[in-house]
Chains A and B, each alone.
Chain A
Amino acid sequence: MTITDSDLKRARKRLLQMHFESRVGHIGGNLSCLDALMVLYHEVLTPQDRFVLSKGHAAGALYTALWSSGRIGDDALKTFHKDATLLAGHPPASGIDDILFATGSLGHGLSLAAGAAKALELKGEGGMVYCLTSDGEWQEGSTYEAMVFASHHRLSNLKILVDHNQLQGFGTTSEVASMAPLGDRLAGFELDLKVIDGHDLGAIRAALASRSNTCQLIVMQTHKGRGVSFMEDRMEWHYLPLGAEQYAQAVQEVEAR
């Protein structure tokens, strides 16, 4: 089902609501990848496909996309970050069929996705494996190991998305440990590289629809806190929870956009 602006607004508001009600942060990096996750879950993923959220701190965006696409209910979202919930701050190890792996420690997801892709190939099964990474986690050595593996095995059933919002835990990616320009650095691997606007639904759809004879990597230029003026491109929204007034303003801005 093709998503509309209305679907995106509804998802963005629900994401803000769940974070506000649970008084937790990580909102900025959730909003930067929500558009891509919405396209993936509404328009792309089939029962044969796999998805690995390597940037596990965007669990809120994942839960929201699962909710929006009817895979989990609203009652589940209401438990987000609460005691006895399945919806922890990072994806759980079990209990939700659409979540294959507990992630949250950066640098694991790409190897898991590459392993799933290689397994599908060995089993002679179709289906694509999608993996969403942050940009900061390309500083992890294990991500480099995974890229070497994926490239060497020419995993044409693996599609890697990078949420390149250029902000990490304690500074910009350029200030902390620059890999800029990220696309150029990664182009040395024999892969099919695309750099797109990660908030342009058309560009996301086109990149996700394309096929290649090798591993594909889509660098999505995004904005942390996308859709909320006081959050956009601000590092502190990696952490901060929303106050009541901020929440009201954020919802109003999403509605008006």
Chain B
Amino acid sequence: MRKQFCDSLVARSSRPEMVFLTGDLGFMALEPLKEAMGPRFINAGVAEQNMVSVAAAMAREGLDAWVYSIAPFCYARPFEQIRNDVAFHNLPVKLVGNGGGYGYGVMGPTHHAIEDYGVLLTLPNMRAFTPVFDEDVTEVVERAGEAGAPAYLRLGRGEPPPGYAVPAYAPWRQLTSGQGAPVVAVAALASTYIQAFADLPDDARPNLWAVAELPLSRNPPPELLVEQIRRSGALAVAEEHVRCGGVGSELALMALDQGWRINRFDHFYARAHHYETYGSQAFLRAQSSLDPASLLAVLAPHLKAAG
């Protein structure tokens, strides 16, 4: 999604109030933005705490401030700066984390971002954008840029099947339809299930939903999804995020609050930072049973019955 992100910001950079700060990252990706923005492109160096506070003050001065780094360096290292300087003042700083989830794969646990939106959404005024496909990024940049509030963008890599017609961006999208129970997936992970679900017969195919904006209090599930949950009495949630603070917890609370009467709830989530070995994003997803085969191994016996 980096190319789409760069292209989107280059288009946005005609706004004189826009300023972009990077924590010394973007080589072989953000050069066009650097060229387009001139002095408003600031390499703030390897100093993320300062970078976030500087961005907060710039937003306070009316500038359209964007902050970019590898995802964990964007939200974990400078968390207090995000909390105190950005969120407490409801300043519209856009925090852009590249490689959300296990995006940095075998680079190791320091580069994984599997608690990002859960941690950030504990803060007042914060919004998280979790694009599903590379094509979403233009719209997401626009929506985050106009949110008028602190925003986090989790960039990853969309993995739709070859030849797949990516649907127009929406905060909630139904990606597959069938008689099976609904499955809610977050961010780019959702795109990895399309083919496997499409290959199932209609009477067992889950209704796959992708959510791309959080918190759910600002982006509640659409009526159709709620109807599917009520009808099937089942819900599965898959997210490349630890269980605590994830969308699974939020949906479970919402189900209790709203009396959805779910008989079966399956939550697939990132198994935190305690692997003995490392590997690619696909390897790590499989370790957490987030890959399509593992997910279906759990869900398949119940899909027809649920439908």
Contact = CB atoms under 8 A, between A and B. Distances in A.
B80 A119 contact: no
Nearest to A100: B60
Most buried by A among B62, B80, B85, B88: B85
A101 B61 CA distance: 12
Contact of B54 (A102, A105, A114): A114
A146 B50 contact: yes
Contacts of A238: none
A256 B82 CA distance: 47
A242 interface: no
A102 B88 contact: yes
Contacts of B80: 105, 108
Nearest to A103: B84
Nearest to B63: A119
Q: Which of A107, A108, A114 has the most CB of B within 10 A?
A: A108
A111 B58 contact: no
Interface stretch (B41-49, B199-207, B249-257, B262-270): B41-49
Contact of A149 (B50, B60, B63, B88): B50
Range for the number of chain B residues in contact with chain A: 20 to 34
A146 B81 CA distance: 12
B61 to A, nearest CB: 4
Interface in A91-123: 93-94, 100-103, 105, 107-108, 111-116, 118-120, 122-123
Contacts of A123: 61-63
Nearest to A129: B57
Given A119-B57, A119-B63, A120-B61, A102 B49 contact: no
B126 to A, nearest CB: 15
B129 to A, nearest CB: 23
B173 to A, nearest CB: 36
Contact of B53 (A93, A115, A148): A115
B47 A148 contact: yes
A253 interface: no
Nearest to B54: A115
A118 B60 CA distance: 12
A52 to B, nearest CB: 8
A155 to B, nearest CB: 11
Given A111-B49, A145-B47, A94 B57 contact: no
Contacts of A149: 44-45, 47, 50, 54
Contacts of A146: 50, 53
A188 interface: no
B57 A115 contact: yes
Interface residues of A, number: 27
Determine the main DSSP class of A at the interface with B.
Answer: helix
A122 B19 contact: yes
A128 to B, nearest CB: 14
A118 B63 CA distance: 11
Interface in A125-146: 141-142, 145-146
Nearest to B19: A122
B2 interface: no
B58 A108 contact: no
Contacts of B89: 93-94, 101-102
Contacts of A152: 45
Nearest to A140: B49
A118 B42 CA distance: 10
Contacts of B61: 115-116, 119-120, 123
A142 B52 CA distance: 11
B49 A141 contact: yes
B55 interface: yes
B104 to A, nearest CB: 23
Interface string B195-220: 00000000000000000000000000
A257 to B, nearest CB: 37
17 contacts: A101-B56, A101-B89, A108-B81, A111-B49, A111-B52, A111-B57, A113-B57, A114-B50, A115-B53, A115-B54, A115-B58, A119-B58, A122-B40, A122-B58, A122-B63, A123-B63, A142-B81
Sorted from nearest, which 6 A-B pairs have the closest CB atoms? Answer: A115-B57, A111-B53, A115-B54, A145-B50, A119-B61, A145-B47
